[in-house]
Amino acid sequence: MIKIGNIEIADFPILLAPMEDVTDPPFRYVCKMFGADVMYTEFISSEGLIRDADKSVKKLDFDEFERPIGIQIFGHDINSMIKAAQYAERAKPDIIDINYGCPVKKVVAKGAGSGILNDIPKMVKMTEAVVKAVETPVTIKTRLGYDDDHRDIVDIAERVQDVGIKAITIHGRTRTQRPRIPADWTLIGEVKNNPRMHIPVFGN
C-alpha cells in the first residue's frame, strides 16, 4: 500500500487530476464509480476563497462517497495561501494540494501555478508555510521546470519533501511546452529513483 500521510491507497493508484470546469461533483462521482482511487476538486483560487467568492466556496463541496479526496488551491501570495489552506481544511478533505503546475497565462503572469517555478525559493517557502498552517496532509502538483533551461524538478522535489509535503505529482512537461510535445517521463523517473526521496511520486 502507498501512504499519503495516514491515508492508505493501492500500490498502483489512479488519481483523478484536478481540472478546471471538469472535475466537478458529477464527474468525480462517475470516475469514482469506475475505480479512481483518489479524487481532487477543481483548483480553487486562494484569493477567491478567502474573500468568500461563491464560485470558489462552492468548489469545496464533496460527498463522503468520494473519499479520499483532495482540495487543490492556487495563488501567488503566501499569506493568502495560508488562509485559503485553513479555510479549505474546515471542509475536512483528506488532502490539501497546492497547484504549481497550471500553465495558463493569466495565472502564470501573477506568479501562481507554474509561474512560481521562476522563483523556487518562494515555492519552497510557500509550501512550508502551508504545511505548518494545517494538520491535513499537504501534497503538490508541479512540472519539470519552467522551461528547457530550467528543468529543476529533481532539486525541487527534494526541497519540498524536506519542508513536509506527503506526496508529489509531476506533469512531464515544462511550463513553456505545449500539450502536443510528448511528455518526458525520464525526469519523473529520476525523482522516483532518487534515494533521497521517501514520499510517493506520481506521474501525470
The predicted-structure confidence for 44-61, as pLDDT tens digits, reads as follows 999 999 999 999 999 999
- Burial (CB < 10 A; 0-12, 13-18, 19+), residue 121, is exposed
In the chain, where are the structural domains located? 2-203
Contact criterion met (CB below 8 Å) for 112 and 84? no
Q: What is the pLDDT of residue 137?
A: 97
In words, the CATH class of domain 2-203 is alpha beta
pLDDT tier for residue 148 given thresholds of 50, 70 and 90:
confident
What region does 49 belong to: left with phi over 0, alpha with psi -120 to 50, or beta? alpha
pTM of the model: 0.95
Instruction: Name the residue with cell 502538483.
Output: 141
Q: Which residue has the cell 510517493?
A: 200
3-state DSSP call for residue 25?
Answer: helix
Coil vs helix vs strand at 9: strand
| pLDDT tens-digit series, residues 58-99 | 999 999 999 999 999 999 999 999 999 999 999 999 999 999
pLDDT at 181: 83
Please report the pLDDT score of residue 176 as a whole number: 87
pLDDT at 39 over 90: yes
- To the query of whether residue 31 is one of the catalytic residues in this protein, the response is no
Catalytic-labelled residue, pool 102, 116, 157, 201: 102
Average pLDDT, the chain: 94
The rounded percent of the chain whose pLDDT value lies above 90 is 83
- Calpha distance 54→32 (Å, rounded): 26
180 Cβ contact partners less than 8 Å away, ≥ 6 residues apart = none
* Cα 131 from Cα 163, distance rounded (Å): 8
